[in-house]
Amino acid sequence: MSTILCMVLIFALLSLLVSTLTEALNSYFQERSQLLYRTLSKLFEDGLNVNFGQMLYSHPMIDNLKKDTQSLPQYISDATFVSALIDVVANYGRTYTFDPKTKKMLPQPPLEAIPKPNPVAKTDGTVVKDATPADTTEQPIQPQVLTLPTELKVNVTFQRFIEGVLKMEHTPLKLLLMNMIEKAAASNKENPLLQLQKELQVWYNNQMERIGGWYKNWIRTRLFYIGLLVALVLNIDSIHLFQTLYRSPDLRAKLEPIAMQLADNYGKLKSDTTLTNEQRTMQAAVLTNFIKDSTAYKNDTALQKVRDFILQLDSAHARRDTAAAKNRLTATEQLDNLVSLGIPIGWRKDRAPYSWTLNYDSLVNLPSTVPGYFTTHLKFNGWNLFYYVAGILITAFSLSAGAPFWFDMLLKVVNLRRAGAKPAETKTKES
């Protein structure tokens, strides 16, 4: 149990590093924004019509959310989406007339004279303006394509939206929008626009929920690859890690109190609903007191490089001064402290697979009482290679579960440990 507890502690902190790295990369490459853009484009992709999803990004309300010409907004609220979409479709429905005298293209009819929103749509989808003038903004319309109640009161924007939809080529997307119009008109005859907004909002939110699911799946894959990279760069072989912890009671004795403290801090933060899962894990790591043992090992240079990389990404993304970025760095520093206690992480010549490239006898610094497992582990053979590759893959796969998973696991294992009786004395297993 003690070994498992220590393993979970190490995985929790490593997954924090992987999550931090993933988050920094995602921010840099605007993955969330790109996914939102692709999803909105796909939402309106019917292979024929104007892609309103792409057009949305030229709408001032969304254009202004961009940081620069290359970036995209990370998040679009449902209210903003609905407002911008209605405008975009309505603008698509507008007709313009070129005035040869002023040489200007003017929207027709002029906005102040619009109160005759009575286009009659033919069955072929083309809109024919009604010849009879009307003088109110609210008036029943009876298009032939759309089945709308005769007593329906239509305002200008709703009318424009209908014109925009009717201007589209006939595709399932057009049908979807037409159905939305009909549903809105049927359920709220006084203010169909309000109902249409609700319909669109529900549609958008449903899509966003699906995006959330896609993003989680996608992020899992990315976490695996970044986990694999971290495992290789920091030389984290799970099998060797387990074997070392299993055979080193001193090391476990150093790690156990840290695991308990970290679990306690995380448990306290669990009740704080203002924090996200990631923020909780980060805060818990920051709050935990890791005792650095500078005499045991030097800080791992590879880990230092990973941290520097995160720092660079953050600074490139202009996030260096934010509290979140600071927390991320402090949390990864904690891992550095943990490594200083003697966990077998990093590339050293007295550690496999680096040791495989050297003559075993040249490893002069090896203690004279090196136990059997460690001796054989330092030499190259087929089994050791197999275990090493498996160990790296296990690390990558484990880290892809994400920091919240490992912190929850830590909490459970600590609770189990506290519930069960602590062994009076841990026997040495090395022999």
Partner 1 sequence: MSAPFTNAHAHIFTSNHAPDYFLETVIGNDTLARWAKKLLQKDGTRWAIKGVLKFVGLFSAKKKQIINRYLEFIKIGTSVNQAKIFENISRSYAQFPGHRIIVLTQVLDYLDLQDTKSQHIRIRSQVEEVANIKKNALYQNHINPFLGVDPRQTGFNLLTDWVQKYLSPDEGFCGIKIYPAAGFFPFDKRMYPIYKWAEENDVPIMTHATRSGSFYLGSFESILNTGILALTDLDPQNVTHARILERVKLLVAEKSIHKKNEIWCNIFGHPDNYEVVLKDFPKLKICLAHLGGADEVIRSEEDKLSSTKKKSKFPTFLQDNWYTQILELMKKHPNVYSDISYTLSDDIAMKIIVDYFTTNPVDQFEVPLIQKLMYGTDFYLTQVEVKGDEINLQQSFLKCFTDPQMAKIVAYDSPNKYLVSKIFPPDPPQEAPAAKASIPGGDTNP
- Least separation in angstroms between CB 316 and partner 1: 4
Pick the stretch among 69-77, 111-119, 227-235, 246-254 that binds partner 1 (CB under 8 A). Answer: 69-77
* Residues 143, 144, 149, 154, Cα dihedral to 10°: -10
How far is it, in rounded angstroms, from Cα 21 to Cα 331?
12
> Which residue in 111, 113, 176, 316 binds partner 1 (CB under 8 A)?
316
Q: Does 95 bind partner 1 (CB under 8 A)?
A: yes
Specify the 3-state DSSP secondary structure of 302.
helix
Q: Does 104 bind partner 1 (CB under 8 A)?
A: yes
How far is it, in rounded angstroms, from Cα 81 to Cα 341?
52
How far is it, in rounded angstroms, from Cα 196 to Cα 89?
13
Give how many residues touch partner 1 by CB under 8 A.
33
Q: Does 321 bind partner 1 (CB under 8 A)?
A: no
- Least separation in angstroms between CB 320 and partner 1: 13
Q: Taking Cα atoms as reference points, which of 186, 173, 93 lies closest to residue 147? A: 186
CB-based contact 107:91 (threshold 8 Å): no
> Closer CB to partner 1, residue 90 or residue 352?
90
Q: Tell me the chain's radius of gyration from C-alpha atoms.
A: 31
Q: Does 123 bind partner 1 (CB under 8 A)?
A: no
Q: Does 176 bind partner 1 (CB under 8 A)?
A: no
- Least separation in angstroms between CB 74 and partner 1: 14
* Residues 408, 411, 413, 418, Cα dihedral to 10°: -170
> Closer CB to partner 1, residue 91 or residue 191?
91
How far is it, in rounded angstroms, from Cα 185 to Cα 192?
5
The single residue listed with the structure tokens 């254009």 is: 63
What own/partner pairs with CB < 8 Å and gap ≥ 24 does 142-146 have? Answer: 143/119, 144/120, 145/121, 145/178, 146/121, 146/178, 146/181, 146/182, 146/185
- Least separation in angstroms between CB 426 and partner 1: 49
What own/partner pairs with CB < 8 Å and gap ≥ 24 does 288-291 have? Answer: 288/258, 288/261, 288/262, 288/334, 289/261, 290/258, 290/334, 290/337, 290/338, 291/254, 291/258, 291/337, 291/341
Q: Does 58 bind partner 1 (CB under 8 A)?
A: yes
> Closer CB to partner 1, residue 169 or residue 209?
169
How far is it, in rounded angstroms, from Cα 5 to Cα 276?
24
Residue type, 15: S
- Least separation in angstroms between CB 4 and partner 1: 38
CB-based contact 10:241 (threshold 8 Å): yes
> Closer CB to partner 1, residue 189 or residue 222?
222
Pick the stretch among 6-14, 97-105, 238-246, 320-328 that binds partner 1 (CB under 8 A). Answer: 97-105
| Coarse DSSP helix, strand, coil percentages of the chain, rounded to the nearest 5 percent | 60, 5, 35
Pick the stretch among 94-102, 286-294, 334-342, 420-428 that binds partner 1 (CB under 8 A). Answer: 94-102
Pick the stretch among 9-17, 61-69, 221-229, 344-352 that binds partner 1 (CB under 8 A). Answer: 61-69
- Least separation in angstroms between CB 132 and partner 1: 23
How far is it, in rounded angstroms, from Cα 402 to Cα 219?
10
Q: Does 129 bind partner 1 (CB under 8 A)?
A: no
The single residue listed with the structure tokens 């790690």 is: 255
- Per CB under 8 A, contacts with partner 1 among 348-367 are none
- Least separation in angstroms between CB 199 and partner 1: 23
> Closer CB to partner 1, residue 8 or residue 62?
62
Compose the 35-54 pattern: x for residues touching partner 1 by CB under 8 A, - for all others: ----------x-xxxxx--x
- Least separation in angstroms between CB 173 and partner 1: 12
- Least separation in angstroms between CB 185 and partner 1: 26
> Which residue in 10, 12, 72, 259 binds partner 1 (CB under 8 A)?
72
Q: Does 92 bind partner 1 (CB under 8 A)?
A: yes
Q: Does 169 bind partner 1 (CB under 8 A)?
A: yes
- Least separation in angstroms between CB 160 and partner 1: 15
| Footprint on this chain of partner 1 (rule: CB under 8 A) | 28-29, 45, 47-51, 54-55, 57-58, 63, 66, 68-72, 91-92, 95-98, 100, 103-105, 107, 169, 316-317
